[in-house]
A and B are shown apart, each in its own frame.
Chain A
Amino acid sequence: MRRWLIALLISSLCGVGLAAPLKHTQQLELDGFQITVGFTEWPLQAERSLDMTFNPEGGIAGKAVLARFVKPDGTQWGEARPLPRFPRDRTMWGYDSAALPIEGNWRLELSVGNQKAMLPLTVLERPAGPPGNLITALAMIPVLAVFMLALRAWLRVKPLRQLESKNW
């Protein structure tokens, strides 16, 4: 518990400009050039967001790479799209604040024309963290409060409601 509180305090005090450092990099070769793929979290965990950067040798100028994520069951996740520039450093490509939703063996396929490269991504189980179901149940309290308030009031003012709802 103390660990969570300290983490909470630190995360609260961190400035927004603090970019996370890379914890892991991998090399890929595609269409004759090397791409350094960086991860700000490693190993990957389901639902845990991270930044992924793609830094091709010679820079991104004049290059376009199509990316598609494939889920553990072999189906595609989202649309196949060109790699966007990384918002925090536009000299490379990348995704910021991205999370893979389920654990298992994912793969990221990059392609330029007919040339393809594949990056296997092992996603571990979701981090043990705040009790989602309990928080969701607590979150329902305000809605129930509104409904209970309206229902109770509705029943209590029935005689007036019948009179006033018919007149200005």
Chain B
Amino acid sequence: MTTIPNSRPQITSLEWRQFERIGAWIVLLGVFATLFGLSWDVDWHSKVGPDTFWTLPHIFVYSGAALTGFAALTVVLLCTFSPRQTGWISILSGRFHAPLGFIVAGFGAFGFLSFGLFDQWWHTIFGFDVSISSPPHLGLILSDILSMVGCALIFARGQRTHTVGISVATGLAVAFTLPFVIAIFSDFGFVLPLLGLQAVLIPLAMLFVVSSSRQPIAALLMAVTLVGFRWLAEQVFPSMTLAYANSLGFSPRDGSSLSPALPVLIPWLSLAAGVAVSALLSFWKIRKLPIIWGVLIAGLIAAPTLYSDSSLIPMQGGSVLLLIPIAFVGALSAWLGWQLGVVARHANPEPLARANP
């Protein structure tokens, strides 16, 4: 694993066993269902309210987590009972071995379902939801982030990566992490740390997917997924919430907004940033320019673009100067994302037997 290859790394498409391929897409489907359900659940709570375990948004949430956990567990068991391959990770004193991504996604789903029980317990004592930042909710949200990280890692293996898979998985992870982290911090009254979150997280994710796939188009794919989720939420959540409330004989609260509560925190300008980063890095790749400068410039461009879209801090006179430190923070995030892309592939190596087909 620490052997330095002689030639320039050649990233090729991922070769999976059949059960790994099926497992990977089911994990992604589960992660999407949970993201969709949680975002709709927050929307439901903010507009209508009543909550038990068996609301429709919860069905999406928990069936998604169950799907993720079941698929990950199945792949881990099938790998464990297959002839062992070098790229797999051992857990629980070597009793189980499987690719890292499936193990991480599985633990995330297990944590999510466990915190679901704590959440039920919480609601029996404190009643229906009034806060997104209750301790069981923190557990649910952070476990889901773990599942999403695992899901992205499934698509990056050593020198091989699945560009669409990792871009979509990372896009969904950002579509979840950005709005939910902002919501939690706002609940605790920490507004200051939110100022540049989108300008930090999105460039990091863009360069992570480009680095792990070595395809500049991955940044745009990630951005399309991210913005696509906001678009989807804006299209379907208002009518779904209203139709579900009507079917139960409830009405939305007076004065509740029509737009989805959390997905609106995803900046539309992510798309512009994705186009800019992909175009810049394509140019860099074709011209064989020093990559590290391309990465830093990508961050310098993307971060102020994303920050300008902030729905939290409206750009006002004088605050344009803030774009300078934001740009530098974005460059640093882009560099970190690029390095993490390399780390993700090599911490999660491909089986040696398949390294040179």
Contacts and interface: CB of A to CB of B under 8 A. Distances in A.
Interface string B241-270: 000000011111111000000000000000
B49 A135 contact: no
Contacts of B248: 16-17
Contacts of B255: 84
Contact of A157 (B48, B211, B343): B343
B128 interface: yes
Contact of B49 (A97, A139, A153, A165): A97
A97 B130 contact: yes
* Size category of the binding interface on chain A: 35 or more
A161 B339 contact: yes
**Listed residue (A7, A17, A142, A145) with the most chain B CB atoms within 10 angstroms of its CB:** A142
**Listed residue (A13, A15, A49, A150) with the most chain B CB atoms within 10 angstroms of its CB:** A49
Nearest to B115: A139
B343 A150 contact: yes
B107 interface: yes
Contacts of A150: 340, 343
Interface stretch (A26-34, A103-111, A126-134): A126-134
A161 B115 CA distance: 36
A62 interface: no
Contact of B54 (A12, A98, A133): A12
Interface stretch (A67-75, A85-93, A114-122): A85-93
A2 B2 CA distance: 53
Interface in A10-65: 11-19, 41, 47-50
B107 A11 contact: no
B312 to A, nearest CB: 20
Given A50-B127, A164-B9, A130 B118 contact: yes
* Size category of the binding interface on chain B: 35 or more
A97 B127 contact: yes
A85 B4 CA distance: 68
B50 A142 contact: no
Given A16-B50, A16-B54, A142-B108, A159 B4 contact: yes
A17 B249 contact: yes
Contacts of A7: 124
Contacts of A145: 104, 107, 146
B154 to A, nearest CB: 14
Nearest to B348: A153
B146 A146 contact: yes
Contacts of B50: 16-17, 19, 88, 96-97
B343 A11 contact: no
Contacts of B40: none
Interface string A142-168: 110110011011101101110111111
A150 B341 CA distance: 11
B23 interface: no
Interface of A: 4, 7-8, 11-19, 41, 47-50, 84-85, 87-88, 90, 96-99, 127, 129-130, 132-133, 135-136, 138-143, 145-146, 149-150, 152-154, 156-157, 159-161, 163-168
Given A88-B249, A141-B111, 12 more contacts: A11-B123, A14-B54, A50-B127, A96-B49, A138-B115, A139-B139, A142-B111, A153-B343, A153-B347, A154-B343, A160-B342, A161-B339
10 contacts: A12-B54, A16-B54, A48-B127, A87-B48, A97-B49, A97-B130, A129-B125, A135-B115, A153-B347, A157-B342
